[in-house]
Amino acid sequence: MVKIGMVIGGRYEIQELIGTGGMSDVYRAKDNKLNRNVAVKVLKQEFSENRDFVAKFRREAEAAANLMHPNIVTVYDVGEENGISYIVMELVDGYTLKQYIEKKSRLTISECISIAIPIASGIEAAHNNGIIHRDIKPQNVIISKDGKVKVTDFGIAKTTTSNTISSNVMGSVHYTSPEQARGGFSDEKSDIYSLGITLFEMVTGRVPFNGDTTVAIAIKHIQEEMPSPRIYVEDIPISIEQIILKCTQKSPDRRYQKMSEVIEDLKKAYISPDENFVKIDTYEQNSVTKTNLDSMYRREKRNAKEAPEVTNPAKEDLVRVNNSPHPSRSLSKDLSNRQNPRASRSLSLSLSRSLQAADISRALRRERIRAIPRPLKR
């Protein structure tokens, strides 16, 4: 049990509690040997009692201590005393990125890029040294009072397993990658996904997935489409939108493969924010952007003109679907019986709009049919 005034490791005098997280508490302390202020992160008791966890924590914290980069909080010392496992780190006088976002509601695009590039640079340095952070989130990014951006909390995140998806780490699950949520293998691309979610929160002021429980949120990361940030902030430049969407692809193979690629595109976005230079396979995207929506509806409208024999079948089909005990089966059978593929696409579009107007989308969702979204207002 850590108490104010106690000395840890024979030199670190605990002064005050300055932060707390799911697995650790952070204290301001005085290094009496070197006469400087430091931050001491202490593993919570429930984790300190697990010897395997503590051993992994110590090994990985020692590896993190070898990281020397201006955008990474420096680790000075690692130790254990009387059942207390701790890490001694550089004390950064400032505030977390989470606090900054909450203060400003959402950040400007220039602020987002100016903060995201140092974060990515710090993570890249870790990756180059064989260390995966696995817990990138605004709470683990510190902005000093002189504007320096530093990533912290290396080591603890790497020891996290599926057992830590609990109420104690609600903050982390909002940023976790689908493969981490499934308890599978994670690598550099998992950190890239979490950086994409962090970027999303910076530009919109909110996280893309929320829920009542950590399990519900984790399932959304696995199953649900990534929403475009333009849904919440319409004037987000297309380059930033596409960077976020590429970072947060469900499949790791479709994301940026290296953090250096993210940095390169962020620098381009700073110079030419309205240029659409990000390479994403539009047929494999998890989210539909405004541009894709507009082109899709123009294409469907053109196809509808080329298939006059089925230009207005929605009313009949809506009645037939509503009267059927199994709407999805009735709809699927009706579409499969149509020989003209263009007619089928036209029917699908017009029918989906009528279904939305009739307010039966809930029933269709229960049958796991995804209706085509309504066209965006110009």
Q: Domain with 86 in it: what CATH number?
A: 3.30.200.20
Domain membership flag for residue 345: yes
H helices then E strands: how many in the chain?
Answer: 15, 9
Domain membership flag for residue 261: yes
Last residue of a domain, one of 67, 90, 113: 90
282 and 180 in a common domain = yes
Q: What is the pTM of this model?
A: 0.70
178 and 142 in a common domain = yes
Number of domains within the chain: 3
Last residue of a domain, one of 261, 287, 313: 287
Q: What percent of the chain has pLDDT over 90?
A: 52
The token duo for 228 is: 């475009």
List phi, psi (to 5°) of 251: -85, 125
- When pLDDT is cut at 50, 70 and 90, the band that residue 195 belongs to is very high
Report d(CA 161, CA 165) in Å as an integer. Answer: 8
Report d(CA 214, CA 255) in Å as an integer. Answer: 24
269 and 125 in a common domain = yes
Domain extent for 110: 100-287
Contact by Cβ (8 Å): 310, 338: yes
pLDDT at 35 over 50: yes
Domain membership flag for residue 1: no
Average pLDDT over the chain, rounded to whole? 77
109-124 burial: b if 16+ Cβ within 10 Å, else e: beebbebbbbbbbbbb
Catalytic residue among 25, 52, 77, 135: 135
The CA–CA distances, whole Å, from 224 to 37, 187, 208, 218 equal 45, 22, 10, 10
Last residue of a domain, one of 258, 287, 316: 287
Domain membership flag for residue 378: no
Q: Is 359 a catalytic residue?
A: no
143 and 17 in a common domain = no
Rounded to the nearest 5 degrees, what angle is found at the Cα of 83, between the Cα atoms of 77 and 88? 15
More confident residue, 21 or 209: 209
**pLDDT score, position 80:** 87
Domain membership flag for residue 344: yes
Averaged pLDDT, 264-276: 95
Question: Which residues lie below 8 Å from residue 250, measured CB to CB, with a gap of 6+?
Answer: 178, 222, 226, 286
227 and 109 in a common domain = yes
Domain membership flag for residue 374: no
- When pLDDT is cut at 50, 70 and 90, the band that residue 278 belongs to is very high
213 and 119 in a common domain = yes
pLDDT at 338 over 50: no
335 and 212 in a common domain = no
Report the CATH number that the domain containing residue 279 is assigned in CATH.
1.10.510.10
122 and 30 in a common domain = no
306 and 337 in a common domain = yes
Domain membership flag for residue 373: no
301 and 227 in a common domain = no
Domain membership flag for residue 2: no
23 and 117 in a common domain = no
**pLDDT score, position 155:** 58
The CA–CA distances, whole Å, from 63 to 74, 187, 320 equal 12, 16, 65
340 and 263 in a common domain = no
